[in-house]
A = this chain, B = another copy of it.
Amino acid sequence: MPGRVLVTGASGFVGRNTLAALAARGFEVHAVARNPPAESSVQWHAADLLAPVELDELVAGVRPTHLLHLAWYAEHGRFWDAPENVDWVAASLRLLRAFAAAGGHRAVFAGTCAEYDWTGDCCSAATPLAPATPYGAAKDALRRVVDAAAPGLGVSHAWGRIFFVFGPGEPPTRVVASVARALVRGEPVDCTSGEQVRDFLYAGDLGEAFAALVDTDAVGAFDLGSGVGIRLATLLLRLQELAGRDGLVRLGGLGARPEPARIVAEPNRLTAAVGWAPGDLDAGLEATLAWWRENDVR
């Protein structure tokens, strides 16, 4: 048994896609959410990590050996600038301290590609860390403290930067989910022209990557992406094709917003450390459509 892992943000989009991968590696999975779902494949705990006493009691009670910290403020449209980013830096540091005090020895944190400078050729080891938003700055700053403090706390740590993720449970406020849902419904959907090149990763592959990072001792920051850039428009048209539809995705139906031209991960550090490789993109898109066929609630 590799150990007992505490997963924060476990009921969120990314969290739900990590639990099975951790269980498959033999971890005893303890999942935390403010409002846990009513299902029992893992042990759920109800706690608000922004309440210091709840955080302390949770960690002291579970006594995890491993930590996967995904929880953060994530309200669509607001999270980039929200003051809650400040709270989550503080809560994450308290969590690290409580985890170490309870005997934990391996912690993995969710970072973001928004830690990088997006104005140049993003992203590689040569890309400066220069977040342009309070969200990116908060994650970047948390990573700096964790990097500096974890060794002294006896904690081996990794920082996994999330890029662009799609898949089961993605909120339909986001583009791939909104298009997948429209396609399944047979409804037209207005999109921007989608010229921007992004690194899209299936959520199940991201979950595997996080589980692999939890289950190793590789230290430092890892970019969690496929390494493959694809135009958003290309991805959406491929989704339409896989859905067996035609003419529903209306590229250019929404006005263009200023967007960085290209944001693509360089996952070679991750691959070298844990042997991870992403699955087939089409398989991920198919699984996403299948999930919406099963789970769309109008």
Contacts and interface: CB of A to CB of B under 8 A. Distances in A.
Interface stretch (A92-100, A189-197, A243-251): A92-100
A83 B137 contact: no
A147 interface: yes
Given A89-B89, A140-B144, A83 B134 contact: no
Given A137-B147, A148-B138, A93 B86 contact: yes
A74 interface: no
Contacts of A87: 93-94, 97
Q: Mostly helix, strand, loop or mixed at chain A's interface? A: helix
A141 B134 contact: no
Please tell me how many copies of the chain the complex holds: 2
Interface string A81-116: 111011101110110110010000000000000000
B83 A90 contact: no
A52 interface: yes
Contacts of A94: 87, 90
A5 to B, nearest CB: 21
Given A52-B52, A134-B152, A145 B93 contact: no
A133 interface: yes
A91 to B, nearest CB: 8
Given A52-B52, A90-B94, A85 B141 contact: no
- Considering the complex of A and B, which 6 residue pairs feature the smallest CB-CB distances, nearest first? A137-B148, A141-B141, A90-B90, A141-B144, A90-B93, A134-B148
Given A85-B148, A137-B147, A141-B141, 16 more contacts: A52-B52, A85-B149, A86-B93, A86-B96, A87-B94, A89-B90, A89-B145, A90-B97, A134-B152, A137-B144, A137-B148, A138-B148, A138-B149, A140-B144, A141-B145, A141-B148
Interface of A: 52, 81-83, 85-87, 89-91, 93-94, 96-97, 100, 131, 133-134, 137-138, 140-142, 144-145, 147-149, 152-153
